[in-house]
Amino acid sequence: MCRLFAITSEDPISPMAAIRALNAMKEGHDGSGVGLFMTDLGGDLEPFKGSPILSGIFSQEGIKKLDRYMMELGLLTKFKFSIRPSKEPPAGTPKRDVYLIRVYEYPYDWDGLSEAEIKERLMKIRIDLRNLGEEDGSMMVFSFWPDVIMIKEVGDPMEIAEYLGLDRKGLQARIIMAQGRQNTNYAITLYACHPFFLQGMSTMTNGENTAFDPIREYLSSRGFPGYTGYQSDSEVFTHILHYTANGLGLGLDAYKHIITPLKDEEIKQHPDEAFLRRLKHSCRFLTIDGPNCVIGCLPDKTLFMVQDSKKLRPGIVGGKPGVFAFSSEMCGLEEAIPDRMKDFEIQPMKYDVAYVDASREEVKRWNQWERCTHLY
Amino acid sequence: MEPVGTLHPSLLSQKDLLWHISWDKQKCALCGHCTAVCPVRAIELGVHRKREIPITLGLSEKPKNVYGVYHGIRQITDPAHACIGCGMCSLVCPNSAIYPVRNEETDKLKFHINAGGEPRRRGGRRNDSASVLDRIKFVRISMLTDPALDAGRHEFELRTLLGRILPPEEAVKPSSQTGWIPPVREIYPLIIGGMSFGALSPNMWEGLQMGVAYLNEELGMPVRMCTGEGGCPPRLLRSRFIKFVILQIASGYFGWDEIIHALPEMKEDPCAIEIKYGQGAKPGDGGLLMWHKVNKLIAAIRGVPPRVSLPSPPTHQTKYSIEESVAKMIQSMYMAWGFRVPVYPKISATTTSLAVLNNLARNPYAAALAIDGEDGGTGAAYNVSMNHMGHPIASNIRDAYLNLVKIGKQNEIPIFAGGGIGKNGNLAANAAALIMLGASGIQVGKYMMQAAAGCVGSEGDRCNICNIGLCPKGITSQDPRIYRRLDPEHVAQRVVDVYSSFDSELKKILAPLGRSTSLPIGMSDAIGIDDYHTAERLKIKHVV
């Protein structure tokens, strides 16, 4: 089963903190892969907050293709932070040419575009690049977004981290999400490796989403080009979050109500009965059927955790003012923040949303029985 | 060869019939129960002459020639009285001395059930027991990362929606901006499909209604039952139980005078209105209640004179096209209940289902679409319609669902599937397969008759005389001497049994698939079939 770990810290920290936490939870995962999502970046990338960063894996040929494509669009490289491993990869990990982390400068003709239009274009470029890469396997693109880095690879998380030198000084972030296994229920491909990313939102999940197929069909038929991929049943969690926020203009509370709605009898007793019933009915095809623990990050740098409607997976949130972690197992949290305020830990149950916003002062808890307050 | 005189072409021997009676002289008590109970008078008391030749030992006495008689059963071979294989004789025989046996070769009777030029009419289903649904397997068992769900321990929410569901973008708008919100019912996905008061006996109808009421009020299962085209008893219309009922209107509008008059006095709204445009058992043909069954009570409820056959026209005669039907009929039905009751059409499965569906998709009032497949049952229809007309349900539902997926409206118009579901007894498996092919719910009629009332009809052309009011079990008869055989309380108990066991079986299917939170509508990755072409056609897995 996938092990999940996310941390949000006032001070930028190395992704190794998350890798070590995954390592502490190693008993439960097979060490078959690692996925990293970093945002609210520090270190060498701190000065480039507003510029889009492309993350992916490229062959030399892929780099050439990328350069041609970006040149045509007028996107110029502003800063390169790519990783070119010189050592032999660990057993089971393919030899890659470049783990690309490259900051771009918006073209002049994008000046004056609305924020929505820019977001649309950034997403489209990522999808185009992904499609281009799929033609010959020369590139895999995980994100193209300001203040976001993603790294994914097959192999043991700790070995991969050492191999890629993730402890390098300039690589730091205030929010890191890490997942420690390759997808095993569908074909092995890095596009099936969590966390998943779409327009500033990212989630990772453990367990199996048994309602995957109808949800995938539903999202695919929304007519939104970003709802694509689906090499993993977990990708839909990110896209449902995106649909909730961008498609419906609703918050994290509605996300929880959409993926795990209250039962019909429960809704009858809820103060928002009419709204929740309409939401449940109209989003029936987005109801997940766990077991799943979902950890995600919103564009406003809020980290959250929710559980399936039966709470069939563990999950814990804890820390101390300034630094909080979300972990699929307690030992991961223990490894990351041993001196945390243990009395304030939360293990979110089936109705809960546990979240830590960008102020990083406390773990907040919202419950489905409360009124919808438009969280996020 | 001995001359046998003139043989009428329709003179049949016992061998020519579909069913022959096996009778054991040694066991027969000559009580006469079997001849009295036979609904078609296929057997009668027989006084058989028999020659015996007693032979004594030795040569002193010559063999004698003794004529004697014995009493027993004689099977009548006149096509009008041909045994229907119902087995009532066997049921009532104290000594198990008699039972019907099916002819192993194709019978000659079928060439002759058209005396007077009138083709055969009957009740039941298409005489074919083959079922694609039975061959669908549930193959996606959650093994890898899941603790398997426990059908007996975990909570399941097996509900479906009947009603037009707004797209999420519309549904989440503040109430002040949404305007009219279409009514949506949260119901149990197994619906008792349209069987009219008239097609069914009063005792059967009452039993079903009592069972449905018990399921709702005592067990919390929101089960719904459709009236079929025959109106609704006035007291039921004015009771709180009407909310468990889907009122059907069809081309004969039978019973609607009574319903319209009851409108001001109704305490509750009905669950929904079903407009029947077609029926799977006899596509393109209207309803039919033969005169045998139109007694005073039925005539009163339907607003017709007694003892006349009641054929509904094949089409809604005031309508020009399906577009017009959708535009006018659905809206006028909505209007009758102040837009508080979902209205949806039911059609027979056909290659043109998608045209109807697309039309409904464009109409914001269409609450659902019920599609009835070729294996659906009926109380009365022409045999040729039943056996040879219609479209299988599985591919029709699949096409309809995938069409909705294509236009992104798979959640907006629920599709309900009917027609031969559970015809071989596998109700839960068939229902689950159809749900995973894309149906939001299932309608069953004949299965309820079989399971809740002991109907003996089968696809082996057994019994199937629902049309003439002689149902040996009293299910489809309007003769009190016959239908008092059926105790409504027992029917109600069986309805509850059927639903409770169906619920358990459905959970036993869904739990291993890891589904419990919502009905797995369209979960086609979970099912497979052993035939390549069927798998391709249904876009499901081919498993061998």
Asked if residue B146 and residue B111 are part of one domain, the reply reads no
Strands B225-226 and B160-163: unpaired
Instruction: Report yes or no on A121 lying in a domain.
Output: no
- A299 is in which domain, residue-wise? 4-49+147-367
DSSP A109: G
At A324 the pLDDT is: 98
Asked if residue B162 and residue B109 are part of one domain, the reply reads no
Asked if residue B267 and residue B193 are part of one domain, the reply reads yes
Q: Given B90, B118, B146, which residue is the final one in a domain?
A: B118
List, for residues B263-286, the tens digit of each pLDDT value.
999 999 999 999 998 999 999 888
Contact B145 A1 (CB under 8 A): yes
Instruction: Report yes or no on A215 lying in a domain.
Output: yes
- Structural domains in chain A (count): 1
Residue owning tokens 């069809």: B250
- As a whole number of angstroms, the distance between CA A163 and CA A161 comes to 5
Confidence of residue A1 (pLDDT cuts 50, 70, 90): low
Give the max Cα distance, chain B.
115
Partner-chain residue, chosen from B168, B513, B520, that has the shortest CB–CB distance to A248 = B168
* Residue B60 burial (CB count, 10 A): 6
B199-228 as b/e, with b when 16 or more CB fall inside 10 Å? bbbbbbbbbbbbbbbbbbeeeebbbbbbbb
- Joined together, the tokens standing for residue B269 give 């709204």
Asked if residue B349 and residue B326 are part of one domain, the reply reads yes
Confidence of residue A376 (pLDDT cuts 50, 70, 90): low
pTM beyond 0.90: the answer is yes
Asked if residue B136 and residue B111 are part of one domain, the reply reads no
- As a whole number of angstroms, the distance between CA B458 and CA B443 comes to 18
At B496 the pLDDT is: 98
Asked if residue B248 and residue B178 are part of one domain, the reply reads yes
Cβ-based neighbours of B111, under 8 Å, separated by 6 or more: none
Contact B154 A310 (CB under 8 A): yes
Element (H, E) at B176: helix B175-178
Of A32, A194, A278, A351, which to mutate for an interface test with B (greatest number of B Cβ within 10 Å)? A278
- Joined together, the tokens standing for residue B233 give 């008893």
Asked if residue B198 and residue B102 are part of one domain, the reply reads no
Q: Please report, in angstroms and rounded to a whole number, the separation of the first and last CA atoms in chain A.
A: 29
- The reply to whether B145 touches chain A by the CB within 8 Å rule is yes
Instruction: Report yes or no on A71 lying in a domain.
Output: no
Contacts by residues B45-48 (CB-CB < 8 Å, ≥ 24 positions apart): B45/B71, B45/B72, B45/B73, B45/B74, B46/B71, B46/B72, B46/B73, B46/B74, B47/B71, B48/B72, B48/B74
Amino acid at A107: P
The ipTM is 0.94
Arithmetic mean of pLDDT, B343-369: 94
Write out chain A residues lying below 8 Å of B165, CB-based. 281-282, 284
B139-160 as b/e, with b when 16 or more CB fall inside 10 Å? ebebeebbeebebeebebbbbb
List, for residues B241-251, the tens digit of each pLDDT value.
999 999 999 88
Arithmetic mean of pLDDT, B383-389: 95
Instruction: Report yes or no on A122 lying in a domain.
Output: no
- Structural domains in chain B (count): 2
Instruction: Report yes or no on B6 lying in a domain.
Output: no
Instruction: Report yes or no on B535 lying in a domain.
Output: yes
Burial of A78 by CB count in 10 Å (0-12 exposed, 13-18 middle, 19+ buried)?
middle
Asked if residue B240 and residue B178 are part of one domain, the reply reads yes
CATH assignment of the domain containing B424: 3.20.20.70
CATH assignment of the domain containing B96: 3.30.70.20
List, for residues B202-249, the tens digit of each pLDDT value.
999 999 999 999 999 999 999 999 999 889 999 999 999 999 999 999
CATH assignment of the domain containing A260: 3.60.20.10
Asked if residue B222 and residue B105 are part of one domain, the reply reads no
Amino acid at B192: I
| B323, pLDDT greater than 90 | no
Confidence of residue A28 (pLDDT cuts 50, 70, 90): low
- B195 is in which domain, residue-wise? 132-542
Please answer whether residues A18 and A328 qualify as being in contact, where contact means their C-beta atoms are separated by less than 8 angstroms: no
Instruction: Report yes or no on A90 lying in a domain.
Output: no
Instruction: Report yes or no on A260 lying in a domain.
Output: yes
B533-to-B136, B137, B516, B528, B536 alpha-carbon distances in Å? 13, 15, 31, 12, 5
A90-to-A87, A115, A192 alpha-carbon distances in Å? 9, 42, 21
Q: Which of residues 345-374 of A touch B (CB under 8 A)?
A: none
- The reply to whether B144 touches chain A by the CB within 8 Å rule is yes
Asked if residue B381 and residue B354 are part of one domain, the reply reads yes
Asked if residue B243 and residue B343 are part of one domain, the reply reads yes
- As a whole number of angstroms, the distance between CA A119 and CA A127 comes to 12
Asked if residue B166 and residue B95 are part of one domain, the reply reads no
A156-to-A24, A167, B48, B56, B356 alpha-carbon distances in Å? 12, 16, 92, 102, 55
